[in-house]
Copies of this chain bind each other. A is one copy, B any other.
Amino acid sequence: MKAIKIGIIGAGRIGKIHGDNLLRIPGADIAAIGDLFAGDELRAWAAERGIPVVTNDSSEIIGNPDIDAVFICSSTDTHVPLIKEAAASGKHIFCEKPVSMSVDQTREALAAVEAAGVSLQIGFNRRFDHNFSRVQEIVAEGKIGDPHLIKITSRDPNPPHPDYIKVSGGLFMDMAIHDFDIARFLTGSEVVEVYAQGAVLVDPAIGEQGDIDTAITTLRFANGALGVIDNSRKAVYGYDQRVEVFGSGGNVSADNDYPSTAVVSGPEGVTRDKPLYFFLERYTEAYINETRQFIESLQHGTPVPVNGHDGLQAELIALAAKRSLAEGRPVKLAELASGISVS
């Protein structure tokens, strides 16, 4: 199998996770890693892993003719220019979500990718989770008939720092965007209308940043199904990630993952440990799987499993949710003309 030479752009937490995961994947070869603030720590990290090049200039990666594909793991505002550059250089691209905060810019990036004929995969890692992918499979096999209702619970164990909230794009673009993608993934249908309710119940500091920390978002799908997502920035018992699809032939649901199956029966009740704490614990294997499938699609010349259209649609839903919340009314995706930034 052809080896794929990879450059990683952005060496924060997620960049390093992708790096470590790529080391395990046969045929993936990390040729370089770049970060604006690359220093001794990153050089040591790269050395331990046998990554030959460390740079603080992304053009050294994109301009390197030996590199087949780039992982864009830098801050969201850099995604679109990097995608355009990489596409122009003929690199295949794995880009973290969201592509951008502006639907117009995202469309520009997608156009550049299409023009260049390269592959673009968006980092919607949850599609590769063992639970969600099993639910999708069951729905796709028709085991629950036609989907009627989709329910997604998505709650974080703790809100991010207020400074991050400010630049995050807000709950819908930053956090619920994963759920919007999963909603499309599970139903196999496009969202046509969104109604979002939001509240600041966790931390007033989040409200002061103009954001919300609690939301219920309802969706209407092209195939007639209805959906609902509930989000909270703080579940004291840990990461809560469950889905359910109800259809004409039955219901399928997936519960959380737990660190063990141990259950204690005592004088106070019957107890098990809390769910896995957060996304790094819950989605460990999902991150590996998404990376593996990206590499394999490049090796085999097959389509990537989550493409630019998927990235764009999730952003459009987030934008509709944001507008719905602001205007207190359901918003159709068809309303969203170009030129509208979500931020």
Which A residues have a C-beta under 8 Å from some C-beta of B?
24, 130-131, 133-135, 138, 143-146, 148-149, 151, 153, 155, 195, 197, 199, 201-202, 214-216, 218, 220, 224-228, 230, 232, 234-237, 240, 246, 248-275, 328-330
Asked whether A253 and B260 contact (CB < 8 A) given A216-B228, A232-B148, A270-B273, the answer is no
A252–B262 CB distance below 8 A: yes
Specify which of B201, B220, B226 is in contact with A248 (CB 8 Å cutoff): B201
B149–A230 CB distance below 8 A: yes
Specify which of B144, B214, B226, B232 is in contact with A214 (CB 8 Å cutoff): B226
Asked whether A250 and B262 contact (CB < 8 A) given A149-B216, A149-B232, the answer is no
Q: Which residues of B contact A261 (CB under 8 A)?
A: 131, 254-257
Q: Which residues of B contact A265 (CB under 8 A)?
A: 235, 237, 240, 250-253, 274-275
A218 to B130, alpha carbons, bound, how many Å? 30
Closest 6 CB pairs of A and B: A250-B266, A237-B265, A134-B260, A255-B261, A134-B262, A251-B265
B202–A248 CB distance below 8 A: yes
Asked whether A199 and B216 contact (CB < 8 A) given A144-B264, A262-B134, A266-B144, the answer is no
User: Which of chain B's residues has its CB closest to A214's CB?
Assistant: B148
**Copies assembled:** 4
User: Which of chain B's residues has its CB closest to A256's CB?
Assistant: B261
Q: Which residues of B contact A266 (CB under 8 A)?
A: 143-144, 236-237, 249-251
A135 to B131, alpha carbons, bound, how many Å? 25
Q: Which residues of B contact A24 (CB under 8 A)?
A: 24
A250–B224 CB distance below 8 A: no
Q: Which residues of B contact A218 (CB under 8 A)?
A: 195, 197, 216, 218, 228
A200 to chain B, nearest CB (A): 8
- Of A24, A153, A197, A328, most buried by chain B (CB within 10 Å of CB) is A197
A271 to B259, alpha carbons, bound, how many Å? 15
A275 to B266, alpha carbons, bound, how many Å? 10
User: Which of chain B's residues has its CB closest to A238's CB?
Assistant: B265
A251 to B236, alpha carbons, bound, how many Å? 9
A267 to B249, alpha carbons, bound, how many Å? 8
A146 to B232, alpha carbons, bound, how many Å? 13
Q: Which residues of B contact A262 (CB under 8 A)?
A: 131, 134-135, 138, 252-254
Q: Which residues of B contact A130 (CB under 8 A)?
A: 259-260
Q: Which residues of B contact A226 (CB under 8 A)?
A: 197, 199, 214-216, 230
Asked whether A248 and B236 contact (CB < 8 A) given A253-B262, A262-B138, A271-B269, the answer is yes
Q: Which residues of B contact A328 (CB under 8 A)?
A: 330
B250–A232 CB distance below 8 A: no
Q: Which residues of B contact A248 (CB under 8 A)?
A: 201-202, 234, 236
User: Which of chain B's residues has its CB closest to A246's CB?
Assistant: B232
A282 to B180, alpha carbons, bound, how many Å? 33
B259–A255 CB distance below 8 A: no
A214 to B218, alpha carbons, bound, how many Å? 14
Specify which of B197, B230, B258 is in contact with A151 (CB 8 Å cutoff): B230
Q: Which residues of B contact A246 (CB under 8 A)?
A: 155, 230, 232, 235
Q: Which residues of B contact A144 (CB under 8 A)?
A: 264, 266
Asked whether A263 and B252 contact (CB < 8 A) given A232-B149, A270-B274, the answer is yes
